[in-house]
Chains A and B, each alone.
Chain A
Amino acid sequence: MAFVLVALLIFFSMVALIYASLRISHLKGQAGTLAQAQAQELARTLASAPELQGKCDSCIDTDKALILKEKLNSEYKGLWKVSYLRIERLYPNAQNRECTRMNYPDCSTLTLINGSLGTAQGAFVNLCRYVAEKKYIQCDIGKIYVSLEAP
């Protein structure tokens, strides 16, 4: 009788362990889905962040973004909980290289935060800058990529 009870105890413990591991993996899946939804929303709304926003809806001021790149590891550290943030110009074509003060605006990529890429979410945006020679604002088509920090 006692041994039957012990055997039952071991059996139900194993069932409980299997159930607990299934629940934990389901929770991890839910956390991953929520993180993805967060990253998608963040990619869409980052273009409206005052630090990046230009003078229109979904416009990024690339002049500001270039300066922000230099400040993200100091003054602006920790403002956005993202591990990766990149702005890419899609059209018109430009030299496929990282933007710096020396080669801007003849460049295609502006990597603001270069941490772990993970699964980056993207959103289409307008990339606008001031053209000194012609004294007007020129807008191109681009995309912003965002990847959230791991919790």
Chain B
Amino acid sequence: MRKKGFEFSFGWIFAIMVGAVVISLALYATSKLIKTEQQGQNAELTVQLGTLLSPAEATIEESTVMPLEFPKESTITSQCSSAGSFGSQRIEVDEQGEGGGGISFPNKYIFSESPLRGKNISVLSEPVNMPFKVADILILWSQQQYCFIQPPGEIQDEIESFKRGISVVTSSSACPKASISICFTGTCDIMVSPSTKSVKKGTQTVFYDDRFGNALLYAAIFSDANTYECQVKRLMKRASHLSSLYSSKADYLSAQGCSSTLRDDLTVYAAQLSSASDSRELARLGVLAADLEHTNDNIPCKLF
């Protein structure tokens, strides 16, 4: 009798096993390569974003709004840490949820909601003075609409110049649908109190000082409270170091024949800034800063 059956030689078994291993290795390598490529693109985007944001910071006199467009809908995650001498700002751009590693910058100050999603991002650059220039801060917002209800005169002129995603109206009923309302009296999504220099969002309240410009007001409106407090703490640390630097400069100029009381005043101011813990102290520090500015304006060799 002839037995029916299929003869499986060792060669065939080996060939099938090796083939299966080769195919699974190839599939694994391809998926890893795609993921690595995407991470590399995200890292490249993050570095490019950091480089692009530098010219926006360099503007000295006027606030400018710069549009940023990404190739695809992206998520910008910015993390603030106030630890160390200057704290740090970590930025990560993610196009497809693959991550890519963030990059840290100790000399950038980004105020925004975190994470921030969108294809088109608006970047507002504003100088912060206390009373000398401390830094140019960057305020980011995405396609979210913001509706300002009857802002005070000088703020209205500035806000209208931003244009992107901003509307200025006389009553809340005129605000676009799904927009975030900002009012200076009454109740709305974000409540600004010019008398107490505070901005209330939900249950959280932060404080600003507008003696030397409205940078911190806009920062408080467009960013979340935790980011705002962390960045303000970082700015105060930077201001403290700058105050020490100007104190040393006053000492040097004093030896050149231009003396003033600024050396000691700046040393005290540096210590006050260094010990400040949150945005509530901005009002008190603003008074000291105004005194420093007044003294500086009345000496022949102005320090700042």
Contact = CB atoms under 8 A, between A and B. Distances in A.
A22 interface: no
Interface string B153-186: 0000000000000000000000000000000000
Interface stretch (A40-48, A89-97, A113-121): A40-48
A130 B86 contact: no
B245 A5 contact: no
A50 B47 contact: no
B54 A41 contact: yes
A151 B54 CA distance: 19
Interface string B24-63: 0010010000000000100010011011001101101000
Given A34-B47, A41-B55, A57-B60, A130 B18 contact: no
Contacts of A67: 245, 248-249, 252
Given A34-B51, A79-B86, A80-B107, A1 B241 contact: no
Contacts of B258: 130, 132, 135
A45 B58 contact: yes
B19 A49 contact: no
Nearest to A40: B51
Contacts, number: 104
Contact of A71 (B14, B86, B245, B302): B245
Given A79-B86, A132-B257, A2 B15 contact: yes
A51 interface: yes
Contacts of B136: 48
B43 to A, nearest CB: 9
B46 to A, nearest CB: 10
Given A50-B134, A135-B301, A45 B55 contact: yes
Q: Which residue, of A2, A49, A68, has the highest number of chain B Cβ atoms within 10 A?
A: A2
B57 A45 contact: yes
Contacts of A132: 253, 256-258, 301
A53 interface: yes
Contacts of B277: none
Q: Which range holds the interface residue count of chain A?
A: 35 or more
B47 A130 contact: no
B247 to A, nearest CB: 10
Interface in B233-266: 238, 241-242, 244-246, 248-249, 252-253, 256-258
B11 A45 contact: no
A86 interface: no
Contacts of B8: none
B242 A51 contact: yes
Interface string A76-92: 11111100000000000
Interface in B194-247: 238, 241-242, 244-246
29 contacts: A1-B12, A2-B15, A5-B19, A6-B18, A9-B22, A12-B22, A27-B40, A30-B44, A34-B48, A38-B47, A38-B51, A44-B54, A45-B55, A50-B134, A50-B238, A50-B242, A51-B242, A53-B60, A57-B60, A63-B253, A64-B246, A67-B249, A68-B245, A78-B84, A101-B252, A130-B253, A130-B256, A132-B257, A135-B301
Given A50-B134, A132-B301, 8 more contacts: A9-B18, A34-B44, A38-B47, A45-B55, A75-B244, A79-B85, A80-B106, A132-B256
Interface of A: 1-2, 5-6, 8-9, 12, 16, 27, 30, 34, 37-38, 41-42, 44-45, 48-51, 53, 55, 57, 63-64, 66-68, 70-71, 75-81, 101, 130, 132, 135
